[in-house]
Amino acid sequence: MSTPRLLPAQPHRIGVGFQATGWREPLALLDPFIQVDHFRLREPVFAPHPHAGLSTVTYLFDDSATGMVSRDSLGGTHPIAPGGLHWTLAGRGVMHDEFPAQPGREAHGLQIFVNLPADQKLRAPEVLQLAAAQMPRRQGDGWRAVQVFGGAAPLPLCWPAALVIVDIDAGAHVDTAPAVGEQGFALVVHGEGRVGALALAPGCAWHLPDHAAMRVQATQALRLACFSGRPLREPLVRHGPFAMSDESQVVAALQRFHSGGMGRLAPRNTRTAPEDSLS
């Protein structure tokens, strides 16, 4: 087996309240995903901010010490429990804000930005949720998997995309491959192992080519987040929290935001998110 292609990680933090390892390049290998952050959040460091042209998705691991709360300009205030999923399909634009349910305790999860097809970028925004108990589970010899979204998970998506959390016992292995016509990537949440000639450790992520089978061997108890989806292969212009098809759509999104067309969300006493971040 050849050595899988590693994806470069980008660590970032805001004070002591937020730290994350993120993946956003090469975009062609992540498609239909735009960015994934493996985060730990202790304080409400992000102010209310807009999104448009994509879905912003929060998944909390079952070991998260606290849940989170998501507010949005659609009028919703949504709890996110450990093991749960919150999906904000931003469409033409929405304001939102997420923070730990218990400040000072650590929320541990994934922040996922999923591109929308060009014909869906100006659709009405929508919020979807799944509790941990609603997520399909399966297991094999020395491994267990949770289908967070995609596949058999009961969440209506507008484009094929999936996330599976896989736990592998030390000494066991799992064979994985995206479906025909799809690609993916996997990242190590914790533990150690090998895939081909590549040694795996926390913060490591590698590309899963279309229909290419790979065997992951755990040398220590290993947790993986495995993403897959059908690439959109469409033009994408990113500007801060906006992911549009062209510059004119970005300009229009900025105008909607400044004119209140994405709704309003009262601020809290927090710091503002970095301008170059999709968070």
The stretch 178-190 carries a mean pLDDT of: 95
**CATH 3.40.50.880 applies to domain 135-231:** no
Helices (H), 25-149: 27-30
Compute the distance between CA of residue 217 and CA of residue 173 in angstroms, rounded to an integer: 4
pLDDT tens digit sequence for 71-129:
999 999 999 999 999 999 999 999 999 999 998 999 999 999 999 999 999 999 999 99
Compute the distance between CA of residue 68 and CA of residue 64 in angstroms, rounded to an integer: 10
The stretch 20-45 carries a mean pLDDT of: 96
Tokens at residue 108, please? Answer: 């541990």
What's the angle, vertex CA 278, arms to CA 191 and CA 64, rounded to 5?
35
Please determine, for residue 59, whether its predicted confidence score (pLDDT) is greater than 60: yes
* Residue 180 or residue 277, greater confidence: 180
Compute the distance between CA of residue 130 and CA of residue 153 in angstroms, rounded to an integer: 9
Q: Spell out the residues 6+ positions from residue 26 whose beta carbon is closer than 8 angstroms to its own.
A: 7
How many percent of the chain have pLDDT more than 90? 87
22 to each of 68, 103, 241, 245, how far by Cα in Å?
20, 23, 15, 23
In this structure, what are the phi and psi dihedrals at residue 258, rounded to the nearest 5 degrees? Answer: -70, -25
Please determine, for residue 135, whether its predicted confidence score (pLDDT) is greater than 90: yes
Residue 15 pLDDT: 85
Confidence of residue 159 (pLDDT cuts 50, 70, 90): very high
In this structure, what are the phi and psi dihedrals at residue 113, rounded to the nearest 5 degrees? Answer: -115, 115
Confidence of residue 275 (pLDDT cuts 50, 70, 90): very low
Confidence of residue 259 (pLDDT cuts 50, 70, 90): very high
Helix (H, G, I), strand (E, B) or coil at 262: coil
Compute the distance between CA of residue 272 and CA of residue 145 in angstroms, rounded to an integer: 36
- In this structure, of 29-38, 185-194, 269-278, the range with the lowest mean pLDDT score is 269-278
| Contact criterion met (CB below 8 Å) for 107 and 41 | yes
211 Ramachandran zone, left/alpha/beta (phi>0; psi -120 to 50) = left
- pTM for the structure as a whole: 0.94
State the residue for tokens 């108990």: 133
ω into 32 cis (within 30 of 0): yes
Question: Domain residues of the chain, as ranges?
Answer: 9-23+32-133, 135-231
Compute the distance between CA of residue 25 and CA of residue 16 in angstroms, rounded to an integer: 26
Calculate the average pLDDT of the chain: 94
Query: Hey, do 9-23+32-133 and 135-231 end up sharing a CATH topology, with the first three levels equal?
Result: yes
- Helix (H) or strand (E) holding 251, with range, is helix 247-259
Residue type, 260: G
The stretch 16-44 carries a mean pLDDT of: 96
* Residue 54 or residue 214, greater confidence: 54
The stretch 199-220 carries a mean pLDDT of: 93
Residue 279 pLDDT: 57
Question: Buried b / exposed e across 177-196, counting CB within 10 Å, b at 16+?
Answer: bbeeebbbbbbbbebbbebe
Please determine, for residue 269, whether its predicted confidence score (pLDDT) is greater than 80: no
Please determine, for residue 216, whether its predicted confidence score (pLDDT) is greater than 90: yes
Residue 271 pLDDT: 45
Superfamily of domain 9-23+32-133: Jelly Rolls (2.60.120.10)
Please determine, for residue 274, whether its predicted confidence score (pLDDT) is greater than 50: no
